[in-house]
Amino acid sequence: MEVRRTVPVKLDVDSDDAALLHETIDEFLWAANHVVDHAWQGEYKTTSKAQLQEETYDEVRERTRLHANLVQNARNKAADAVQSVVARWKQGEYAGKPRFSNPTAVYDKRCATFYDEYVSLATVDGRIEVEYVLPDPARDTPHSRYLVRTKAEVESDTPEQATTGHSTVLGVDLGVNQLAVTSTGVFWSGHEFDHWRREYEKRRGSLQQCGSRYAHENIQAVGRKEAGRFTMMLHRIANGIITEAVENGCTVIAFEELTGIRDRLSGASWGHEWAFERLYEYVEYKAEMYGITVEQVDPEAAKSRSDFATAKNIGLRYLRRNQTGDGGGAPVGVRLNSEGPEVPRTTRTGAVHP
């Protein structure tokens, strides 16, 4: 039977980092309460995490500076609270609408990275690194028994112990001509995105020349329509990527590192950069419901091959980054199709192990 122990650890936080953490907690609480308010509308309360994510994620991201995973954790906290209230109602007990005021935020491995002597935490203004405040390891405390590990214990960890299970990776390449291409050979064309991006830019440019209050109000309306259209488009692509991963038994979806992607892609605009970031976030939270991990890998120096080949290489780079030593570790693979002609439309071919 698995046994879990909780050991409280203090952090050595300076004044600047403390201010950032307070701001992060404030926005986390606002996000959680906002999701509760949304779930509470109408006669029937919404308890589905997937539905609440679909209906509240974009607005919370727009109105806060929270890391994408903190937004998801705030949604989970809100959904769990609403589910608890509904469960109590079913038992004939009284329970009112949840409200969060205790100054806490929920961190997990996606927004907090733990090291031997410090932790890296996501905040509303990037990550901060904060050292632990630990007692003398020679003392017999819960910290020394369950948290502090000797050098010999750390060195005794072998690759076989650290890596378990079977990893099958779906590589995803992002681009201008093809917004997304998977290593299984599915293409989502960028033509529709480019068409509507240019169309909305023309509309805004025409209205800006007028300079009237009416024109200003219409510019805002155009922006809302643009965001709505592209959001639907990116959700559709994200759903397709998730479907590919599930149908091909993939446990990991690997994207190329998004930082600096606009500079690496010829013809990419700020609109493409926004779309890539949102698509990654949509895939990340949708994948969570299927137990699929979403990762980014270092980019290659140049993209000289096709989008399809690049998608395969992204999956392979993820495996190389996580590969154990010779002859050790778990079996791994990238879901691929046979090399074939590329077509500028959504298409799927059979997937096999290489």
3-state secondary structure 122-186: EEECEEEEEEEECCCCCCCCHHHHHHCCCHHHHHCCCHHHHCCCCEEEEEEEECCCEEEEECCCC
pLDDT at residue 5 above 70? no
Return the pLDDT at 340. Answer: 41
pLDDT band at 36 (very low <50, low <70, confident <90, very high): very high
Query: Where is mean pLDDT largest: 7-11, 321-325, 340-344?
Result: 7-11
Lowest model confidence (mean pLDDT) among 84-98, 242-256, 303-317, 331-345: 331-345
What mean pLDDT is reported for the chain?
Answer: 78
Mean pLDDT of 103-132: 88
Lowest model confidence (mean pLDDT) among 36-45, 121-130, 162-171: 162-171
Query: How far is residue 48's CA from residue 230's CA, in Å, rounded to a whole number?
Result: 24
Return the pLDDT at 220. Answer: 72
**Higher pLDDT pick, 149 / 181:** 181
Return the pLDDT at 166. Answer: 53
CB contact at 8 A, 249 and 168: yes
pLDDT at residue 23 above 90? yes
Mean pLDDT of 70-87: 92
Does residue 311 sit in helix, strand or coil? Answer: helix
Return the pLDDT at 38. Answer: 96
Query: How far is residue 201's CA from residue 207's CA, in Å, rounded to a whole number?
Result: 10
Mean pLDDT of 301-309: 53
pLDDT band at 59 (very low <50, low <70, confident <90, very high): very high
On the CB side of 339, CA atoms within 13 Å amount to 8
Taking the alpha carbons at both ends of the chain, their separation in whole angstroms is 37
Work out the percent of the chain whose per-residue pLDDT is above 70.
73
Return the pLDDT at 344. Answer: 36
Helix or strand run (H / E) with residue 253: strand 252-256
Residue bearing tokens 């205790």: 102
CB contact at 8 A, 132 and 119: yes
Return the pLDDT at 218. Answer: 73
Does residue 188 sit in helix, strand or coil? Answer: strand
pLDDT at residue 3 above 90? no
* CA dihedral angle for residue 292, residue 297, residue 299, residue 300, rounded to 10 degrees: -100
**Higher pLDDT pick, 76 / 315:** 76
| Radius of gyration of the CA atoms of the chain, in A | 23
Domains along the sequence of the chain with CATH: 10-90 (no CATH), 112-162 (no CATH), 167-192+224-334 (3.30.420)
Query: How far is residue 50's CA from residue 312's CA, in Å, rounded to a whole number?
Result: 29
Other C-beta atoms lying within 10 Å of the C-beta of residue 282: 24
Return the pLDDT at 129. Answer: 92
pTM over 0.85: no
Other C-beta atoms lying within 10 Å of the C-beta of residue 139: 8
